[in-house]
C-alpha cells in the first residue's frame, strides 16, 4: 500500500490589500481575510498595505508587506539596507521608543491574563534602554559558498527562508564584527574547504571597563572536514591583519581549540564596573549579548534586592556568575546554581579572580526538584531567578517554600514569567514591581524583570 505524500496547499500568488488593526506579540500586523486571522510581517497598526502570502495555516495565514499605502506615525526608515530580507531584525521599521513601549505592553498583558486581574498596586518599572545599534556581541552567523552568487555568503538567515541573506554589513552586530562581514566573504570564497564551513560563532570581549575601549573579537569556525594547511595559514593571516582571535571547531563544543593567537588562556572578559568586577568567559560560553544593557540590568536587580551583609542569597540558573558575583559584593553569602558543570567551574574561577570568598557554586538540574540538594536545606533571605525561555515552573513552588523575603526574577519570555508569577502569588508572594529592558533592540525579544515580596503570615 503506497503512502500518500503530504502536499502543502499552494499559496495564493496575487498580492492582497489589507487594513492593519493591531500588533501581535511577535510584532506582526494583524488583519483578517474572509474572517481568517492573518499576520503581516513589516506592517504596523493603522496602516494600509499590500502584502504577499508566505505561509498558510489552519487557523491563520502569514504574509509579508510589499508596499505601504498609509503610513503609521510609528514607522521609520530602517537604517539597515538589508532589514527587509535579513531575519536578524524584525522591527527596524518601528520607532525605537515605540518598540520598547510595545514590549512593555506585551509583558503587562501577559501578567494580567495569568493573574486574572489588573495590576493595581504593582509598580511599573521604568524601561531600560541602551545603544540601539551595534550592540550585539554574541551571534551565530551562517556561511555558505554559492557559486550562483559569485562567492561565499556570511550572515543571518533570510526571513521565512533557510537561505543566507546577501549582506556585507550589519547594524546590530558590534562594529568590530560588522566591518568584517565583507572581508569574511572574500576569505571564505578563497578557501580550499569553502564548501565545508557552515557557521561562525561570534564572541566579543571587552579590554577595559570603558565600553568605548577597543573590543576583543573571537571567531569560532565550525568546519565539517579537516582544513588544509593553506586554509589554516589563510585564517592566521586574517586574524593578524584584523587583530582578532580565531578558534576552530571540527566537532562538538569540546573540540573547540584556538588557532590564533598563541597564548596561554582562551578567555575573553567583560566588566561590571558598578561592582568592580571583571568576568572571564570562553568564546563558546553563554553571555548576555548586549553589554550596555546587561550592566544596567545587573545594577537594577541588585538595587531592587536591597542587599546587606546579613543577607544570604540564592542565585538559580546563575551561568558563570553574572548576578552571583555582583550580589557577593553586597551580601553576606551567595550560592549560585547552574545545570552546566562547565559554567559552575567558570563561576568559581571568576570568584577567585575577583577575590570573593563568600560565594559557592553548585551544579544541579533545575528542570526537576532540588529539594534533596545540600544547598537547598539552607536558609536564604533573597533569591535571584534567571531561567531560560521555558521558565522555572518545575521548581517555582520549591523556590516559594524557601520563604525568602524577596525574589527578583529576570526573564527572556514574558509568557513563562507571567505563568510563574501566578504560581508565586498562589504560594504566598505579592508582585511588587515589573518592567522590561531592551536587550535586543529592533527585535520582538522581550527581556523583563519582576520583584516579589513574601506576604507576612
What's the domain range around 315?
107-130+290-454
Which pLDDT belongs to residue 457? 72
Q: Is the peptide bond before 261 cis (omega within 30 degrees of 0)?
A: yes
Same domain, 316 and 254: no
- What is the DSSP secondary-structure string of 254-313? GG-EEEES--S---EEEEEGGGTEEEEE-TTS---SBHHHHHHHHHHHHHHHT--TT-EE
Q: Across the chain, what does the average pLDDT equal? A: 95
Only one residue has cell 534533596, namely 372
Please report where in the chains the cell 557557521 appears, as a residue.
Answer: 199
C-alpha cell at 361: 557554586
Per-residue pLDDT at 13: 86
Of 75, 95, 120, which marks where a domain is finished? Answer: 75
- What is the pairing mode between strands 138-146 and 199-206? antiparallel
3-state helix, strand, coil in the chain (%, to 5): 25, 30, 45
Say if 285 falls within a structural domain: no
Q: What is the pLDDT of residues 176-209, one digit of tens each?
A: 999 999 999 999 999 999 999 999 999 999 999 9
pLDDT band at residue 1 under the 50/70/90 scheme? very low
Check whether residue 309 and residue 402 sit in a common domain: yes
Do β-strands 429-437 and 447-454 pair in parallel, antiparallel, or remain unpaired? antiparallel
Q: Are 198 and 222 in contact (CB under 8 A)?
A: yes
Same domain for 298 and 347: yes
Can you read off the three cell numbers belonging to residue 264?
Answer: 596561554
Report yes or no on 82 lying in a domain. Answer: no
Tell me, yes or no, whether 126 and 142 share the same domain: no
In the block, which residue shows the cell 503610513?
71
375 and 333, same domain (yes or no)? yes
Asked whether residue 281 is domain-assigned, the answer is: no
pLDDT at 6 over 70: no
| Angstrom distance (rounded) from CA 164 to CA 167 | 9
Those residues whose C-beta lies under 8 Å from the C-beta of residue 27, and which sit 6 or more positions away, are 90, 91, 94, 102, 443, 444
Does 120 share its domain with 160? no
Q: pLDDT tens, 200-232?
A: 999 999 999 999 999 999 999 999 999 999 999
Total-model pTM: 0.95
- The domain that holds 203 is classified in CATH as 2.40.50.1070
Burial 297-318 (b: 16+ CB within 10 A, else e): bbbbbbebbebeeebbbbbbbb
Q: Which residues are catalytic?
A: 412
Indicate whether 29 pLDDT > 90.
yes
Residue 274 in any domain: the answer is no
In a domain, 170, yes or no: yes
Q: Is 63 helix (H, G, I), strand (E, B) or coil?
A: strand
Rounded distance between C-alpha atoms, residue 100 and residue 76, angstroms: 15
297 and 412 in a single domain? The answer is yes
Same-domain status, 319 and 242: no
Residues 189 and 311 reside in one and the same domain: no
b/e sequence 108-128, b meaning 16+ C-beta within 10 Å? bebbeebbeeeeeebeebeeb
Residues 6+ apart with CB under 8 A from 311: 305, 330, 331, 332, 333, 381, 382
Of the candidates 34, 55, 75, which is a domain's last residue?
75
Q: For the chain, count helices (H), then strands (E).
A: 9, 22
Question: Do 325 and 236 belong together in one domain?
Answer: no
Q: Return the C-alpha cell found at 57.
A: 495555516
How far is Cα 240 from Cα 442, in angstroms, rounded to an integer? 33
Q: How many domains does the chain have?
A: 3
The CATH number of the domain holding residue 32 is 2.40.50.140
Per-residue pLDDT of 306-321, as tens digits, reads 999 999 999 999 999 9
Helix axes 229-242, 181-190, angle to 10 degrees: 160
Q: Is residue 417 a part of any domain in this protein? A: yes
- Angle, alpha carbons 374-375-376 (nearest 5°): 90
- Residues 40 and 123 reside in one and the same domain: no
Weakest-pLDDT range from 3-7, 268-272, 362-366, 371-375: 3-7
pLDDT on residue 124: 97
Alpha-carbon torsion angle 51, 56, 60, 63, nearest 10: -20
Q: What is the CATH number of the domain that holds 371?
A: 3.40.50.150
pLDDT at site 10: 81
208, 216 contact by CB (below 8 A): no
Decide if pLDDT at 106 tops 50: yes
Query: Could you tell me how far CA 228 lies from the centroid of its own chain?
Result: 35
340 located within any domain? yes
* 280 is a domain residue: no
Residues 306 and 186 in one domain: no
Q: Which residues of 374-409 are buried (b: 16+ CB within 10 A; e: fewer)?
A: eebeeebbbbbbbbeeebbeebbebbbeeebebbbb
Amino acid at each position: 500500500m503506497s503512502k500518500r505524500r503530504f502536499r502543502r496547499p499552494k499559496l495564493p500568488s496575487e498580492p492582497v490589500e489589507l487594513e492593519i488593526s493591531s500588533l501581535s506579540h511577535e510584532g506582526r500586523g494583524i488583519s483578517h481575510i474572509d474572517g481568517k486571522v492573518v499576520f503581516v510581517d513589516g506592517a504596523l497598526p493603522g496602516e494600509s498595505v499590500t502584502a504577499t502570502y508566505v505561509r498558510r495555516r489552519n487557523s491563520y495565514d502569514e504574509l509579508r508587506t510589499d508596499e505601504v499605502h498609509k503610513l503609521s506615525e510609528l514607522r521609520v526608515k530602517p537604517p539597515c539596507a538589508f532589514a527587509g530580507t535579513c531575519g536578524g531584525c524584525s522591527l527596524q521599521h518601528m520607532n525605537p521608543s515605540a518598540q520598547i513601549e510595545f514590549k512593555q505592553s506585551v509583558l503587562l498583558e501577559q501578567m494580567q491574563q495569568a493573574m486574572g486581574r489588573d495590576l493595581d498596586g504593582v509598580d511599573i518599572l521604568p524601561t531600560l534602554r541602551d545603544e540601539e545599534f551595534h550592540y550585539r556581541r554574541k551571534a551565530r552567523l551562517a556561511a555558505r559558498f554559492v557559486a550562483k552568487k559569485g562567492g561565499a555568503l556570511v550572515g543571518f538567515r533570510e526571513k521565512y527562508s533557510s537561505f543566507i541573506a546577501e549582506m556585507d554589513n550589519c547594524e546590530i552586530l558590534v562594529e568590530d564584527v560588522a566591518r568584517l562581514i565583507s572581508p569574511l566573504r572574500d576569505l571564505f570564497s578563497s578557501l580550499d574547504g569553502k564548501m565545508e564551513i557552515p557557521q561562525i560563532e561570534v564572541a566579543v570581549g571587552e579590554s577595559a571597563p570603558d565600553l568605548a575601549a577597543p573590543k576583543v573579537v573571537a571567531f569560532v569556525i565550525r568546519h565539517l572536514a579537516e582544513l588544509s594547511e593553506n586554509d589554516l595559514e589563510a585564517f592566521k593571516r586574517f586574524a593578524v591583519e584584523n587583530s582578532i582571535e580565531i578558534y576552530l571547531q571540527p566537532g562538538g563544543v569540546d573540540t573547540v581549540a584556538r588557532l590564533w593567537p598563541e597564548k596561554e588562556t582562551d578567555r575573553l572578559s567583560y566588566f561590571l564596573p558598578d561592582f568592580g568586577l571583571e568576568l572571564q568567559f570562553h568564546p563558546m560560553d553563554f553571555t548576555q549579548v548586549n553589554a550596555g544593557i546587561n550592566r544596567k540590568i545587573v545594577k537594577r536587580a541588585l538595587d531592587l534586592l536591597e542587599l546587606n551583609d546579613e543577607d544570604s542569597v540564592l542565585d538559580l540558573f546563575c551561568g558563570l556568575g553574572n548576578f552571583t558575583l555582583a550580589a557577593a559584593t553586597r551580601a553576606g553569602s551567595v550560592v549560585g546554581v547552574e545545570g552546566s558543570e562547565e559554567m559552575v567551574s567558570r563561576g568559581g574561577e571568576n570568584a577567585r579572580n575577583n577575590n570573593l570568598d563568600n560565594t559557592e557554586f553548585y551544579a544541579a538540574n533545575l528542570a526537576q526538584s532540588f529539594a534533596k540538594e545540600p544547598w537547598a536545606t539552607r536558609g536564604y533571605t533573597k533569591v535571584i531567578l534567571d531561567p531560560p525561555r521555558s521558565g522555572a515552573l518545575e521548581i517555582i513552588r520549591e523556590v516559594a517554600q524557601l520563604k525568602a523575603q524577596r525574589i527578583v526574577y529576570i526573564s527572556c519570555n514574558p509568557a513563562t514569567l507571567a505563568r510563574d508569577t501566578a504560581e508565586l502569588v498562589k504560594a504566598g508572594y505579592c508582585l511588587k514591581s515589573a518592567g522590561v529592558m531592551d536587550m535586543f533592540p529592533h527585535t520582538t525579544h522581550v527581556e523583563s524583570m519582576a520583584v516579589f515580596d513574601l506576604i507576612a503570615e
